[in-house]
Structure 1
């Protein structure tokens, strides 16, 4: 138990009393009036919250000052340095976009594609100029302004190169259009020349063979058909045709030529071919020569004129070379612009980093300042919590736990009464209530316990009665099920001795009639009575009466066995002939199965050991065991025969006994379905059955196992699924029940 004078609460109240004594009288009087002369909960809360509010206000004011300084530094970065950095990036991006547009200009195949590319170029130029203007406006230092001015000059040079490429591509497309026109005109001239030459050759050949120049005139004599003049004219036509085809082919090659040096070499070959064509005209007669000369002049103009193939193709190739040169210049200019912009980006990044560094310094300063303020606030809060809050929470928590325990009936809890405040008053009141409740509880405890014990006793008695009734119902149900299985077999077994009784009674009636006749004959004086014959009849009657009595006793035993199965009272211990009982109940099980299902059949093999003899036990219970086990064996063989459908399978049940000095063993073996491994350990459990629907209660083997154990024996099983099952029953000659044998 703590010393009340050494607790923290006591020390705090002592300190408060000392403070009141140290204050001036007027101030101390006001404090006493306000606090009631003690350090109560209200006073503690006001002091703690007031200190926390003052610390919070101070931290907020300091945080606002730091936020203003940091905001100014951030504004410098976002309003001055970031626009310059963004502008430099925009210039670099747009210049690269303009550079990527120049190959597209060169690769344009028609004016529509060229105009589309040029439209994109105009947009890029405008965006680039806008970015450059923004960059110039964003730079604040002289060094940055100078770098931006150099970039603008380089940018103008790049745009000028792009314009030159555009003009060059336009000229190249004009040359291409002219070449297409010349190609069409060349094809027309070539066709005209070929047609004229072919016509002249046909006419000359016709004249040389027939002598006719015109069908209307006369034929020239053979001497005039192959003169030197005619042969020269014919050879000139052939040469003209060959030279003209060569010239046309060379001009077509010049139109498709892509190398300027090769084009110049092709020009020499074209001039040579044209000279050969003109030379071939000299050997042709004047009329055809004049007509062919006009087309040859057109062919020369197509190739050699100022707008001919040679000049046009040369101009196109020169424009291609000029465009390649301009593209190379644009790459160099773009690289120069990129270097200048990179310098601007570096300057802008340096300025932004410098401003950001100053801002980071202020942020770090603010962080450490706020951390210091927060640490002080936390320390103050911990101090306040430790000396006020925790003490109050602990006391209220202790009071709350004591209240909860008391509300649950635990009146042995101790209520701690410490301090001099409202919680102390509540603790004192709770302790008084606890003491009164303890007295009341003691008065009611005995009465309550007595009522509870009586209620539990009544409940246990009801439960025991229910269990007994349930057990009786279950056992009765199993007995009725066993009796039902016996019904058909009993009917068959009783019918046999009754038939014997009837037969022997009828035979005895006949013997009595014969005896009466024999006595009547002797009484009439007609002769003497045949004593030997009378003795023979009396002997037969004596035998018949014994047989009737024997079969009557057998029927009586069957009825008594059935009645024993149905009786509720416990059986008595007696000597039981094992072979006789097994024989009777094996027959009952067989005929019971036959009566329930006419299709049932089984080969029932009995191997009884004459030394089996008798055991001491309750005959009714043992007969129930044998009937249950043999019936199960019959069921197993019948089920296998129905499921397998094997014509070679024949159900067999073997019942065997084996006698020993102190015990008897009974074996019931069947070649039925066997018992699966997963359920073989459950077959002796109550209510466990594998028969579908209402085919079994699941109590037969359980009760049989219990009966054998009560007789001091063992009931074991050996099985192989799908092959066989064998139950082994071992019974001692004299078991635990032997002391109950009745005389």
Structure 2
């Protein structure tokens, strides 16, 4: 960093053009503002001269234009106004036919106003030119248009009434059909259920096969189905009639409707003994009643179509009249235009003279402006301002070494002097910023070192935890082998003791006659207590044996890797887990849904080990959904909850993704981190060992894969397994 540049010195070119110091203002005659004011005064003087010349020229143009306005333009304006109102009159009929009901009155008033305005505009022409053939043709066309518009105006209220009736029928038909179907469809389902199972409802006894499959029951089911189909047909026929495009299309629909109505009456008579017959008769009668009277779906559309046809005929006639009217109006416009052209030609010569004078004045003004722009603005102002602006941009980029040099004794030189002072101050600030930047970088390096130190500590903790788990696996395998022998003795001798008790019970039966009632009762109680105690010993012995078996499986694999169909493996072990849970709890229920990738194929895995993983996953998922259902049943809020376990599989280019998702209560956030720890379980003491997920995690890691837990408390839990296709 160099020292600040010295103060700028005065230019050697001329003593009068040196830089201006910050405290000295330039002389009045050298200021830019004085020179600009002088240029503006000159421009204003030139403008005044141009205005005087223009005033004289425009007076001449005005006298010529007044002759055009007073003689030719009124006639032309009248013709154009008549053409404008003619177009509005021609468009009146289509506007009436397409007007919405809520706007028809306003549009009708607008059309009436157009008719009155046309007559007011047309009346002077008939007075001034009664024998003009174009005026007579316009009068005939207008009379016919007015008559057609009056007819359409009179028809539209009836058209709107018929349209509202059609909209009402279109809304009522689906409602009445739905009301009938709400009675018919449950009745059809109940009849079909009765014929299939023999039960009318949950309270009644089951009916034998002969009765529920009799001809009467089958005929009743056929009548219900036929009634449902006929109700749908009559609704469709009425709906089709409402949207018919021609009146001839409605008559065959009405005939089919009457035929369907007869079939409905026959079906209603056939089911008259059913409980639903009165209610169904009312619902179907309401639907069929729509076809009665003058508001029938087969009458209203025909009336509206007749109005539409009449309006179409009138619109076609109006189109022909419109062409005649426009031809006559255009002829009037052409006559008026010819007169206006002649008058305009007379004023064109006057305008030409004024144009030449204005061109001369404009040329003088442009030349003066060019001289001012080139000599004063370009050379004196813009060039020096551009140099000052460029120097300011270099200062903004941080280039502070070069001095600011702008010669002169005006405001620009004064700004250059102030910018030089700013440059010197910026050099001092730059030195201070450099020190602050070095301090900030040093702080960032310290933060990075602290982060690396924390990451090293976390890595050390993970290595220690893995060593502990490895040591725990070795100790667990040794302890399990040592515990198995005494467990076998406990299980075997408890079973033998139970058999001895049975033999003793047989001997007691032989000696029963030598014992008193009190002794018999006492011996039976003692025998029962021994049976119960031995049962508890066997139960806890088996549980301890399962724990030992799981501990042994944590230390060794379950077979050799081989090509295995993953979808079949998951399917078989999920069914095994389901039937195992059903054997322990007859009330256990869960729905297994499979969303397997059909292109999964075979993958090289250890099938025994991977099957054990999904056996654990499905068992845990079934346990969670069953527990949630019991809790909801106890609370009386089960609603539509259904225990469900979804099994998924998907194959990508480099791995397979397998999942087990249940809709149980989920896993709390503080428990998720512990579920893979050995001996950790949230189940009761006699239902879980805490080794299933730990063993599953070891198996998946041996396959080179990972297990991810996705859960939301109260909603679901999903175990996702990812296994690479090529294992290292």
Give TM-score, length-normalised by structure 1: 0.33
Relative contact order, higher structure (CA 8 A, sep 6+) = 2
What TM-score comes out, normalization by structure 2 length? 0.34
